[in-house]
Amino acid sequence: MRISRLLPVIILLIVACTQKESDKLTQYVNPLIGSGGHGHVFVGAHVPFGMVQVGPTSLPQEWDWCSGYHQSDSSVIGFSHTHLNGTGIGDLFDVTVMPVVGEVEYTRGYKKEGSGLWSYADRSREITEAGYYSVPLTRYGIKAEMTATERTAMHRYTFPCSKEAAIIIDLENGGCWDRTTEARIFTEGDRRIAGWRYSRGWANNQRVYFVAEFSKPFVSFSKHGNNDMYGRAAFETEQGEIILMKVAISPVSVEGAKKALATEAPQWNFDKIVKKAKEAWERELTKIKVTCRNEEEKVIFYTAMYHAMTAPALFCDVDGNYRGADDKIHHATHNTYTIFSLWDTYRAKMPLMSIIQPERMSHFVSTMLNICDEQGRLPVWHLWGCETNCMVGDPGIPVVADAIVKKIKGIDPAKAFEAIEKSVAHSSRGRDLRREHGYIPCDLFNESVAYDMEYAIADGAASLAALAIGDTVAANRYTESSHSYRKLFDPASRFIRGRTQKGDFREPFNPYYSTHRNDDYCEGNAWQYTWLVPHDVEGLAECFGGREAMISKLDSLFSVPSTIEGDPSPDISGLIGQFAHGNEPSHHILYMYNMLGEPHKTAERVREVLSTQYHNAPDGLSGNEDVGQMSAWYILSSLGLYQVEPAGGRYRFGSPTVERAEIEVDGGIFTIETINNSEKNIYIKNVWLNGKKYTLPYINHSDLKAGNTLTFEMSDKY
């Protein structure tokens, strides 16, 4: 009788739980978007902004395998605990683990049966989810599963019956990307091993310390190769026996790794860690709740959120210790981060973080200020405590300036501006030549145009930061220097061009030409770089002779042939005419029409890119993910917003594709509503802010973070 009365309640609880599960946003994450083509995304298990990113590393060490994974190849040489996401250069792959059966050769692997540490993976049974990864290794008959916390990974390996089962620790792996300079493995009892790997590659002095524990004692442990490069923990297994393995890493010490293991993964409950990882992703994904027109758009949107929150990655121990840019151990009261791909991410990724991750944004910028103290200037492209100096300009300045202008909590504006001034005063990377000549001469410095134009953008951002702290003298000085690009504008050809120290434009000149070896531009040509003036669109229009002349030239960007001549970088991709959405220098260009008084053209081009260059497929990105920049562009543009001017503190309107969005901000919920939105109704007809007619072509960050409601009425006419 009691059971019969409880039955309806039980049924309701089951239904409620089912509905709750079906509402979770993690179901819309497809980690394989961007795993083909040139997306270079990380595939594996991790939590948002986690230090550990554990997943498969493949045999090929070529450009499309920068993340260690590509859809075109199913080989696996092990499961590494550090990876990069969407970069154009490879590195990391530290502390690689490979479960095996039988004897193997202790080399990084070759496609020859019986040699090296490798196996084919059965991709037909691969499972990729937020916080969880699984794949069968066909050579050994082993099912591999893994999940992660911020600093640890837990592996679950299901073995066949064997007296020769083993789990190999590989400290050589790095392939052509980097080389191990020192390795050490040692045991602590019959369940724990520890050690470190020092390496030199893109990060020229990388140090990773680790500790690993097994759920059962190993029968024996042996070292192989030179310099403790490989360690083999041997086991005897029954059919279907599961061996769990916990691995923690630290940039500081083995003791730091042990603290992480004790704090984050003290037990052996694999499923519980998976659950917590998924909950961590769910918390971050709900920072933006969107209603989309269809399920495909929702998958693309939340996968973009997932990719945007893969890095920067945590770079400190649980006690706050971290390895600084000076290779000394420091202590911070905030979380410290690494993997700062700033040339890519200052454009859209970091502005997005300032909206949905203001607390982490404070930590990102605080980390950058620490780096400035430790190396004498703000980071350019920082990787595991090392300055790579990759890419052009001074991309850390726009990020720090943006934090000043937006009054990000936890950032001292005076200290932040001091770091900007220190970086501007540096004499490296062509800055001395720019001060001497007023621009960087092309006959004295490679990629002179690209460097000079990025410095001009940084100066424009510095000027806005100076205004924000009330320093009008510095603001005027930086505004003046931000106009250096004007000296590179050729009124005859109407292109930005390389100019010699004598003042002559470089000849011969071909605006379609690009090379990644010796050029005035960086990953682009004159067609793309002529528009790299997001901070001074009015000034650029004056160079063209007026707004109409600039619009006419801008129109031609999308209609000229898509041929790139010379020896171009493969990063120049996603071409519409000479507009290259697959690479960052083009990302703001579509929104220039908004700034020039023709927002309908912004709407048309934004909708074209959103619908043709982002897909729910392995080749669903038109270029490298670039540590979240490609995805951040999609997120902001689908919301109808984009920050064109670095540190401008405002977001230009484009053409929203979402029906509704609720964004967690400091002031509560910022809501975006669309009326009459459809594939045909791409033009913004009317805008309301909190129910009142709104006429500006942008919204200020202060209005956004206050938690207001922005309403777009869409139309098929402009």
71, 36 Cβ separation under 8 angstroms: yes
* Tokens linked to 18: 């089912």
Coil, strand or helix: which one is 637? helix
3-state SS of 310-332 is: CCCEECCCCCCEEECCCCCEEEC
Helices (H), 103-160: none
Residue with tokens 């000027």: 463
Distances (CA, A) of 32 to 42, 69, 75: 9, 10, 16
More confident residue, 622 or 3: 622
**What is the residue type of 474?**
A
Distances (CA, A) of 118 to 56, 104, 113, 125, 546: 11, 9, 9, 18, 61
Reported CATH class of domain 29-285: mainly beta
Our CA dihedral for 700, 701, 705, 709, rounded to 10 degrees, sits at: 30
Backbone angles phi, psi at 158, to 5 degrees: -105, 115
Q: Where on the phi/psi map is residue 391: left (φ > 0), alpha (ψ -120 to 50), or beta?
A: left
pLDDT one-digit tens code per residue, 257-280: 999 999 999 999 999 999 999 999
- Please state the separation of Cα 272 from the chain's center in Å: 28
pLDDT of 27 > 60? The answer is yes
Least confident of 63-72, 412-421, 450-459, 513-522: 513-522
**CA atoms of 349 and 340, how far apart (whole Å):** 11
pLDDT of 177 > 90? The answer is no
**pLDDT of 16:** 41
CATH 3.30.2080.10 residue spans of the chain: 288-715
Closest to 88 measured CA to CA, from 707, 700, 595, 569: 569
Closest to 576 measured CA to CA, from 561, 591, 598, 592: 561
**pLDDT of 686:** 98
Stretch 21-33: mean pLDDT: 92
Stretch 543-553: mean pLDDT: 98
Closest to 583 measured CA to CA, from 593, 574, 592: 574
**pLDDT of 113:** 54
Fold adopted by 288-715? GH92 mannosidase fold (3.30.2080)
CATH 2.70.98.10 residue spans of the chain: 29-285
DSSP state letter for 141: T
* Tokens linked to 115: 């040699």
Q: Which residues contact 48 (CB under 8 A, 6 or more apart)?
A: 280, 281, 284, 309, 310
pLDDT one-digit tens code per residue, 557-604: 999 999 999 999 999 999 999 999 999 999 999 999 999 999 999 999
**pLDDT of 108:** 73
Distances (CA, A) of 443 to 342, 403, 519: 27, 36, 10
pLDDT of 253 > 50? The answer is yes
Stretch 604-609: mean pLDDT: 98
DSSP 193-233: EEEEEEEESSSTTEEEEEEEEESS--SEEEEESSTT-EEEE
Coil, strand or helix: which one is 428? coil
The neighbouring-strand residues paired with 668 are 665
Q: Which residues contact 493 (CB under 8 A, 6 or more apart)?
A: 509, 511
pLDDT one-digit tens code per residue, 340-362: 999 999 999 999 999 999 999 99
**pLDDT of 17:** 43
pLDDT one-digit tens code per residue, 471-530: 999 999 999 999 999 999 999 999 999 999 999 999 999 999 999 878 999 999 999 999
**CA atoms of 314 and 77, how far apart (whole Å):** 25
Average pLDDT, the chain: 95
